[in-house]
Structure 1
Amino acid sequence: MSTSDQPRHHRPTRNRPPLPRPPNPSRPAVAPRSKVSKRVLLRVASVACGIQFGWALQLSLLTPYVQELGIPHAWASVIWLCGPLSGLFVQPLVGHSSDRCKSKYGRRRPFIVAGAVAIAISVLIIGHAADIGWAFGDREGRIKPRAIVAFVLGFWILDVANNMTQGPCRALLADLTENDNRRTRVANGYFSLFMAVGNILGYATGSYNGWYKVFPFTKTVACNVECANLKSAFYIDVVFIAITTILSISAAHEVPLGAQASDAHGQSSGTDEAFLTEILGTFKYFPGSVWIILLVTALTWIGWFPFILFDTDWMGREIYGGEPNQGASYSAGVSMGALGLMLNSVFLGITSVLMEKLCRKWGAGFIWGISNIIMAICFLAMIATSFVAYHIGYIGHEQPPAGIVIAAVLIFTILGIPLAITYSVPYALISIRIESLGLGQGLSLGVLNLAIVIPQVIVSVGSGPWDQLFGGGNSPALAVGAAAGFIGGIVAILAIPRTRIQKPIPLP
């Protein structure tokens, strides 16, 4: 275990009162560390596979889909505002509530189940948006307003549900590892690994164009082939999220939080302090190391979010030269983009398996910084590929050359390495360092989520008009992402110290 990864207890100075100790009921609610095996951690983390399956479909197919419903490219990013906005409020609130939940089924599991049910409902609404719009009066035309309303409603529910599920699941893993540095990194590595598996399955599902033949009833007068494929993929998602949720919640043995558990830690069970006052009040007590993690997280997600918004759209528009609802080129590009994201997830999974060894050898901050620099280089490579594709002159006349397609898919694939770091290292670092504040793990991860969603709000509002200002492509937003990722990488390398290696504690 490395020394600088130890929780840093913040000592009061003469000019600052001692740190308050907010209620932290995390430890009495789980089994003792000696009883938590790697198998249990794996099963608990498996719900990430089901969640990410749906996310993969969402990330690869929904930006093209909203444009097929008639929303212009410049406004497509605004639709994604629901994710950051829901995360801004939902995840901290759910984390805070799960820290204090006294359900007989445990603190985290009720939220995981409720979130999984909401995910299933939301994807069914999204998949049937065109049919709902038709039922309420939409007919043939470029813009389908009623379908757009149904889509946005389902999309907002989906993002709220994702935040409701992921936060408590990560908090449950932190509970089970009891903030042991190495075990926390291992548990978050498992979570990242299952995210990779879910991505692979989801992107593979999204890249297949024949689901409407497997589920022929999905193709209707309102729902064309592309819509039927999306609808079918979401049916599969509902089954998958049900299976992984059952695996996860049946593995964790939470002890219900009661007055006795709280009293054992000298805490009152009747904490009714206002949520927003509590979370905002803790910010002024954060040590410098926590602020550095939050800063690097924010810069990292300013980098990632333009790619997440426009990855398959970039492939369809700038590599294949197509437009939504105009010929087959755009759809072919979206399918190829989904294939590239599937390969991205393979690298994500491999990196997740190696995560603990990499962090022990070079330090979590150094690994995080290098991964951000790799991300920035890949975004610059995407811009260069777009430039070359435009000047070759094939766009609008023929399919892209094999070399251009291979280069684009290779960039998508390599990006799986920094994505694995982003999905794992910040969560492990914040879980370890913020423990000295006495916060529950649910609220702690909600605080980290603020550093993720605030940049996403900025990118969602600004990337579409910013791209439109420079000609309507995706390169301007990618350029901003590359700059932010590079700066975040330098800050992580310089400000999060490399750690001295010690003999790791063996897992049971």
Structure 2
Amino acid sequence: MTYCTPYLLELGLTKSKISLVWIAGPLSGLIMQPIVGVIADRSKSRWGRRRPFMVWGTVAVSICLLLLGWTKEVVQAFVTDPEMVRGATIALAVLSIYGIDFAINAVQASCRSLIVDTLPIPKQQLGSSWASRMVAVGHLIGYGAGALDLGKIFGPMLGDTQFKQLTAVAAITLSLAVGITCWAVTERVLISDGKDEHGEQGAVHMLTSILKTAMNLPKGIAAICFVQFWAWIGWFPFLFYSTTWVGEIYLRYDAPAEAKQSGDLTGQVGRIGSMSLIAFSTITFLMSVMLPWFVKSPEDETPNFTPRPPASIASFVIEVEKYKPTLLTTWMISHCVFAGSMILAPFVTSLRSATIIVAVCGISWAISCWAPFTFMGVEINRLSSSNNHVYGHFTRDSIELETPVQLHLNHGPEEPPQNSTGEGSGIYLGILNLYTTLPQFVGTFISWIVFSILEPGKSPELAKEAHPDDTNSTDGPNGIAVCLFIGALSAAVAAVATTRLKRTHSY
């Protein structure tokens, strides 16, 4: 997110073409997450339903990350003509980004489903908030690495440029994190009792099943998806372009003349952008840690216990509980905070202001990484509980890895589910991801139009010399700032949709 846009600009792509490259994200999410979710839901691998996808997806991501970092060297090993080298380098870089996006979606789908699968309803908010904290820690470490001069730390061991070393660090870290998760989490293994009427289903049947489910979503899940759709039209330009925007603000208004003549503008923009995202990630982490303590969890329909604080602080705790906002109210406020920040983007004229605006968005991002998945986890497990009571017995079992005890994905009326089974979690979370990725197509289209009109040539801030396509200078409006402004308007719609969800649903 920090370095790829400047890297592609340095290779010679225009912003309008780069906006089309980033369609890889929504395209991969649209295809991979629902399909992986359905396959994993029905997988009877002895390693678990989610683990194989996490492992093989991580291997693919790591290979593509390293290929992206060493694109020029790989191409030059096979091609010698300078013009062909340039074209092939751009093509391989774009293919590597597509490979990363498609593979990481398999990993993400499996990780999120793992949380829903293994936690009971009362702990869904706690699980999602911990996931948000870990995302914030990962961002903080990643952006911190981007802001440091890794060449001085690692020397030539991980590569001779900042970008190469970052891709190597990312690949190693992802592999370690997924490896620890696969080792530590006890996952259910799906087994068949021989009466599985679905059997092995082909790709067409699978896609039909996904489409049918998406068109007939339960009311609660549909409402959550609607909010997510509008929110992500706003988040898309922020996540992909905010660091480049901060770097361009620096080059346009604050950078000394010698900095603009530097031979490594990509590194400069990346480091300056990373500093702003360190502030963003710090705020995200702090909010992820603190907010769950001050926000009411979505009420469980059948609570298993009533919290009993110590008598000495009982009156204080009870009084505080009265004033805690609900998670839904907090989600709505987060949309307003994001919209209020991004609407200022076209008017920013200093690096400090740009950094402050990006940092404030960390509040909204912490809640956006937490709230929708909490609500989805609660809804999915409520549906599982309801279906289990309606349909009675089961056709499939599940067993815990490394334990001899059989647990049922479906429970009979005499056997109310005490733990989350996450039945259907893969497909429902995959559909939530559809509503996360579809707006990214909208965002890509908006970005393409804005860049085509305002910055049809190379980025004026990053162009080292005059270019025939450059019809604008740094005096004109910044294209990314305009995209962020449009995203703010979409976030305002998401806030209204969240308010409607609060009136019509039981949270």
Q: Same fold (TM over 0.5)?
A: yes
C-alpha distance in 2 between matches for 1:467 and 1:151: 21
Structure 1 residue 128 displacement after superposition: 0.5
Structure 1 residue 213 displacement after superposition: 6.5
Return closer, same or farther for 1:116/1:324 CA change in 2, 3 Å cut-off.
farther
| 1:322-401 correspondence to structure 2 within 5 Å | 331-360=267-296, 361-385=324-348, 389=349
Tell me the equivalent position of 2:64: 122
User: Per-residue CA shift, 1:456-503, capped at 9, x if unaligned?
Assistant: 1121233033233245621221111000001101221232249999xx
**Secondary structure in structure 2 of the residue aligned to 1:146:** helix
C-alpha distance in 1 between matches for 2:170 and 2:454: 37
C-alpha distance in 1 between matches for 2:107 and 2:260: 33
C-alpha distance in 2 between matches for 1:464 and 1:365: 33
User: Per-residue CA shift, 1:233-262, capped at 9, x if unaligned?
Assistant: 2222222122211210111122321114x8
User: Per-residue CA shift, 1:371-404, capped at 9, x if unaligned?
Assistant: 011001111222221xxx2xxxxxxxxxxxxxx2
2:295 corresponds to 1:295 = no
Contact kept, 8 Å, 1:69 with 1:142, in 2: the verdict is: no
Return closer, same or farther for 1:215/1:269 CA change in 2, 3 Å cut-off.
farther
Tell me the equivalent position of 1:147: 89
CA RMSD after TM alignment: 2.6
Tell me the equivalent position of 1:64: 6
Tell me the equivalent position of 2:379: 433
**Letter of the aligned partner of 1:410 in structure 2?**
I
Q: Unaligned 5+ residue runs, structure 1?
A: 1-58, 220-224, 390-403, 502-508
C-alpha distance in 1 between matches for 2:260 and 2:442: 25
Aligned counterpart for 1:443 among listed residues 406, 427, 431: 427
Return closer, same or farther for 1:358/1:492 CA change in 2, 3 Å cut-off.
farther
| 1:31-430 correspondence to structure 2 within 5 Å | 59-137=1-79, 144-178=86-120, 180=121, 182-211=122-151, 214-216=154-156, 228-260=161-193, 268=197, 270=199, 272=201, 274-321=205-252, 331-360=267-296, 361-385=324-348, 389=349, 404-430=350-376
Aligned counterpart for 2:443 among listed residues 437, 450, 459: 459
Contact kept, 8 Å, 1:375 with 1:418, in 2: the verdict is: yes
Q: Unaligned 5+ residue runs, structure 2?
A: 297-323, 388-422, 456-477
**Letter of the aligned partner of 1:374 in structure 2?**
V
Return closer, same or farther for 1:356/1:496 CA change in 2, 3 Å cut-off.
same
Return closer, same or farther for 1:119/1:212 CA change in 2, 3 Å cut-off.
farther
Contact kept, 8 Å, 2:75 with 2:85, in 1: the verdict is: no
**Letter of the aligned partner of 1:135 in structure 2?**
A
**Letter of the aligned partner of 2:32 in structure 1?**
V
User: Per-residue CA shift, 1:328-370, capped at 9, x if unaligned?
Assistant: 6664343121111112111111211234334302122211111
**Secondary structure in structure 2 of the residue aligned to 1:60:** coil
- The TM-score, its normalising length taken from structure 2, stands at 0.76
C-alpha distance in 2 between matches for 1:62 and 1:213: 22
Tell me the equivalent position of 1:39: none
Structure 1 residue 444 displacement after superposition: 1.0
C-alpha distance in 2 between matches for 1:143 and 1:464: 26
Give the number of aligned pairs. Answer: 413
C-alpha distance in 2 between matches for 1:92 and 1:460: 21
Tell me the equivalent position of 1:27: none
Give the greater-gyration-radius structure (CA): 2
C-alpha distance in 1 between matches for 2:428 and 2:199: 20
C-alpha distance in 2 between matches for 1:143 and 1:301: 36
Structure 1 residue 300 displacement after superposition: 0.6
2:495 corresponds to 1:489 = yes
C-alpha distance in 2 between matches for 1:358 and 1:493: 20
User: Per-residue CA shift, 1:159-200, capped at 9, x if unaligned?
Assistant: 11111001111111111113x0x3111111111111111101
Deviates more, 1:476-485 or 1:344-353: 344-353
C-alpha distance in 1 between matches for 2:10 and 2:261: 6
**Letter of the aligned partner of 1:248 in structure 2?**
T
C-alpha distance in 1 between matches for 2:267 and 2:83: 19
Contact kept, 8 Å, 2:339 with 2:488, in 1: the verdict is: yes
**Secondary structure in structure 2 of the residue aligned to 1:71:** coil
C-alpha distance in 2 between matches for 1:359 and 1:83: 32
C-alpha distance in 2 between matches for 1:205 and 1:422: 24
C-alpha distance in 2 between matches for 1:139 and 1:359: 61
C-alpha distance in 1 between matches for 2:232 and 2:51: 28
- The TM-score, its normalising length taken from structure 1, stands at 0.76
C-alpha distance in 1 between matches for 2:506 and 2:39: 37
Contact kept, 8 Å, 1:358 with 1:367, in 2: the verdict is: no
**Secondary structure in structure 2 of the residue aligned to 1:464:** helix
C-alpha distance in 2 between matches for 1:291 and 1:244: 32
